[in-house]
Structure 1
Amino acid sequence: MNLNLRFTISWKLIIGFGILLLITIITNFLIYKTLNDNLNQNLGVITEVYTPSSAHLNDLFWLVTQTKILIKNWVYIERKDDTPDKNRLQELHSRQIPETEAALEPLVEKWDEKEQEQYRDVVESIDSLVQMHQEIMGELNSFEKYEDMMVTFPIYIKTEEDGDVMVLTKRIKDKLEHLINHQEKIIDETNKTMRNSFTSLQRLILIMALLMIISVLLIGYITRQALVNPINSIKKVIQDMGKGVLPRKEIKVSTDEIGEMSEALNLLVNGLKKTSEFSLKIGEGDFKSSFQPLSKYDVLGNSLILMRQNLKKAAEDEANRKQEDSQRSWAAQGLAKFGEILRVKADDMEEFSFRLISNLVKYLDANVGGFYIINDDNPEDVYVELMACYAYGRQKYLKKRIDFGVNIIGQCVQEKETIFLTDIPLEYIKITSGLGADTPRSLLIVPLKINEIVFGVVEVGSFNVFKKYQIEFIEKLGESIASTISTVKINISTAKLLAESQEKSERLAQQDEIVRQNIEEMQAAHDEMRQQIKEERQKNAKLSQKYKEKIQGIEIKLKKQQDKLTKQEISLRGNLDAINNTLGAIEYNMQGEVLAINERFTEISGLEIDSILNRQQTQFMLKERSRSEQFKNLWNDLNKGVSRMIENQYFFDGKEMWLKETYTPVKDEDSNFYRVITLVSDITEKKLQEEEENKENNANSSKKS
């Protein structure tokens, strides 16, 4: 029988790779066996038994230490019932110590017998310690028991450092510490065993690697001797590819196995060229370029597609993050800018309104805006009033009064909610310029409210659609604007009341002078009449009766004038009482010395009247602020008769406070300024909130940098 067996390239490769595969399988098996033994025998014991055991023992050690401190507090310090320390000790006895012991029970069963006996001894000792604590707690269960030496003396002996309770506590801690050290020693020994095992594994891997290298060299040598000439071209291509160079021409394909290899290599080269081109496009940021992997199993191609998707998503996320940072920075800068605008003193509501709406329209890059406030001067006729507008071009807004619920503005005030429109009626509003007029694309109407109380409305229109962050910015700014409107209204009302009070005081003084002159005239007339009556009583009886009637008329007139003065005085006192109940008031001389204060100011400062009177204003301020040019300019203006409104920082009894102050100089009879009346309101909470927001904005800016 003649058997013609052909030892083809396929068989040679099968045998060679079979040997490599066998070595690989043996190596992987030994590695798996070593790792599995360590995981099951060593790592499992550490993670499932000894590590949690050590942690729970440490917890138990700490709980016992706490009971030592708490029982001493119970005996020596905490005499009242239901104190935090007493409740804590009861919680340790009733819940935490039993829970920790319960958590240790399943783990203790996996210890050796000696450790289990030691732990059982610790548990029994802890039970005894808890029993001692319970006895002490039961004996000292009321305040009166602490005063009874017959009760406290034996307990003091037990809780001293050499007493039964302290000795037993120390013994328990020593035993727990011994168990903890033993557990940690076992963990260290197990880790050492694992390290030794892994060292042996490293040696085994090194030996198998050397064996694999030798096998590869041997197989390579045999293959080289059998296939040198046919695969020279393939070798050259592979060497070039190993250097990262792809051949420009395809390898010639033959009809044998080497030909099949050449064809496969040509496919691989073409695929790598496409992959390289695709990678370059991804590196250039072209995430839309098309690419087809060699197959669904093409790891490199599929990885590149996944990388393109991840890079595209990362680029989008980075763009979104930058946009969000920009929006936050924009909002923070806007709040800071309008905070400065709102802090400027405003006695004219229309001027304040125009300054605010014009800056707001410009900052939002909008095109038109209107500023409305709630006019409640007459409580029986409250309505919305247009105070200022910017770039308006519609006839309907020549009418400044809008009732609640009427059109969109009235609806916004009534519902107290923001209204955002993108579908605006053609005739509702127009944005005008020198080239014509057109309807805006979006309209935003935001109520200015604090604590659900609406003080006004801001209306802004733009050719661009407002973004969500812009709407949130205006809503947040609306709270500060509402607060400022409230303060401005109060200041204007206060200034008006003060002016009326001064005018009434002057008028009362003039009327007093008139009454005094009338009294003198009446007295002179009365004396003259009496003299005439005395001299000509019988001759002028009718004339005497006439003078009596004249006297009675003057007395009636004087009584009416006195009644009118009394009513005016009551009205004036009512106005002053309203001011004193609402705002703090302090009176200075022109040198800044405190002459008088009201009760409201003592409530704000937290100081008694005697600790403030006859003291300089600068004694309650930082030296740097009292010596500043701003403070000197304040008093220079006051001495010139100029009213001022500022925000000032004080320290009353070490406590920092911010007050919003309105200074008004007062004249004497010679029209010289001799004192200053100051009305104050507490803005400390608002000021601290602004500082927190500024810190947060600075932190965000630092993160961005």
Structure 2
Amino acid sequence: MRFTIRSKLLISFLSVAFFVTAVNITAYIYNDKLNRSFDELIDRRVAVLSKATEIQYLSVQQTNSLRGYLLTQDSDFLTELRSSNTQMTALVDEVDNLIIKPDVRESFRELANMDEAFIKSSDQLLLNLEKDQDQEAALAYFKTTVLPIGEQLGPLSMAFVDHQQQLLDEERADNASMVDFVNTMTAVLTVITFLLTLLIGILLSHRITSNLFKITSVIKGFTHDSNTASKLPHIDVRSQDEIGDIARSFNEMALTLNKYSILEEDQRWLETNVAEMATKFQGVNHLEALAQLFITRITPLVEASYGVFYLKEGAGRRQQLNKLASYAYQQSSVGVESFKTGEGLVGQAALESRTILLNNLPDNYIQITSGLGKAAPASLLIMPIQFEGQVVAVIELASFSPFTPIQQTLVQQASAHLGSVLSSISGRMQVEQLLAESQVLTEELQTQSEELRGINEKLEEQYKNSEQKTRELEKTQTQLEEKARQLSQSSQYKSEFLANMSHELRTPLNSLLILSNILATNAEGNLNEHQVKYANTIHHSGNDLLQLINDILDLAKVEAGKMDLVHGKVCLHEISGFAEQQFTPVARQKGLKFTTILDPDLPEAIFTDEQRLLQIIKNLLSNAFKFTERGEVKLHIHRAAPPQAGIAFSITDTGIGIPKEKQELIFQAFQQADGTTNRRYGGTGLGLSISINMAHLLNGEIIVSSTVGKGSVFSLVVPNEEEAESGAMVHQESAAAAAEPEPEIVVEARGFEDELDDAVWVGKKILIVDDDMRNIYATTIALESKQVNVLFAENGLSCLKVLKDNPDVDLILMDIMLPEMDGYETMRTLRQMPGFVSLPIIALTAKAMKDDKDKCIEAGASDYMSKPVKLEQLFARIHSWLSR
């Protein structure tokens, strides 16, 4: 913070003024407060004294008035008595409120109690007199009871008056003493203020004059001392005022002038050494000799104690920096002989073409050794050597002290000249090498030309034979092309057949699954426990049949080579989480232990098709749980053991095991190790066949190791491929795509329905377009449970007619394969009709061809679902569209 002389003087004067004003104000306030307090106290004492005098008078008057009334029976005395009593009581209360000191209040309470006793006794006397009319008895009671009390009132009141007068005199004396004390303190504070003002002035003047003396003494000493004329001295003044400004300006001027003289000396040293090193490079014709000469010369010049010269060799991805020469280098576990570009600090300096300077190196980084001992350097300098913008070498220097800027400049300028020399010598050596190689090649070509003459004679004979074979090959090729055409047509027929079979099987399954789900839910509560169990059994059996259809279609696609693979990054922790989420409930149900293990040396993710990888792992885990009745199942993700390479997903179980002679058989379709297992454990034998084919598509394999009665280990090994530049690799399938169901959306049925707003459904009108009455019936029952009005049509033409009669339809469930007018044509027609452009249409199809979803959206569908649909998914989709 800047504190100028003007500020110092101003603050000093203001401080003095402040102290003087504070003393005067304090004295005035204290005197005023004392006077007002004394005036209030005197007024209170005077008031108490005045009322105490009245009490003294009234105490005597009370006794005289009562005595006069008893002797004369004159009512004026009685009136006077009662008036005295009233005044006396009022005065006692007033005085009691005015008294502050506790000891005074205690003495006054004795007088007040005595007055109260007098009034009570006089009232009793008058009451007896009025009752008995006995004057003698009343006079006797007055003398014995009332008069003694009255006679005490006078002395008590007189004593209280005297005490109050004494207190008043004492307080007047105290006030006079306090006034004297205040006057004395005012005089003392005035003296202190004067002394403080004097001290501030002395300190301020000393501070200013001492700094001025420092400046003048330094300047005088510099002008009179001839020995210091070459270097300006430094003035040590740190005050933040004008004197400090003068000192700092002088110091900056001295620093600039001193630096200028040092820079000239450094520049001469720099130019001399750069020229000397350039001269030494002349006449060197070998790279290793040049590198050794450079590192041997440059290391001591910059006061370094260690140096290494790395030369860039190779081409493309094989480029690396190899150690070519060194200074004080000692082979140990610390040093490295070569680096790839971007590897370590040396490789990073080459990659970025920039110098790296590190200070405060750790003790174990490198040791510089001599005959007497060894120690760690303090600073490390890594500098690339360039020629025409390309890095050709890197030098590394270590020193016990930090590299100065002039030393870094020397290394940089010497390295700049060295780059062109390295390029020249390297080119000369390559020319010499090429000349030697060309001589060897010339000799080899002469030998080979002689051999070619003999070969040509043989080729002429073989050419004649090849013409005959060519004609035979052309005939064979024509036959193969015909076979390929027939095979392609057969594959097309097979795909169409599978698609049609998908439609024929899924259509009845759709109604079966919907109705069985409705019965199993038992929303109306009219089914008993066994009937609900039967419905659940039907529903689960339908799902098993649906899974069998999907497995057969997957197997057909794999065998036809038409499965679509989409590669991307797959996180290994997510694979482990998927397995735990899917199979922990299964393990808990079967009483098995289930664990997942990820080795610590694994990469975070691999590059493969996530959907197919999860399908294989799910199939292998399902088999492990199926054939394991006790013990445990374990998923271990680790690096594959040699000779395999990549990431392995090993599923280990303690199940029934597989005989060695049957371990190849289990990967064939519809096959299991024992023909009886499918009756005991269930299943079709398709899972492993699909898995092995998918593993081959992922460029992987499945390895089996099993012992009968002890368990099995199925290991899926996939390569850890690097991600392609595009971010994904897609294997396109042929145009005739096999039937493929839409991926399921996993939803907890009861939990999800609870989140839906039932008010959205009430009163909505939904049109079902389907040619299968079983589907219409099942879907209608499901929707009517939501209080929805359901309409239906069996084909496209009927749909248009129903919409014409009911233009207030809120949503359409549109089947695709319809007679007369299919779903595609119906939706295109609807979108051309006024009022139905934005009507929500959910397309439903059991054929489920690969491109059906895109075709439905292009035809005008708002959404798409494949049959058989799950009620919770269907409700969720409908709810979503009705809520918009």
State TM-score, norm by structure 2. 0.24
- Richer in helix (by share): 1
* Larger Rg over CA atoms: 2
TM-score (norm 1): 0.30
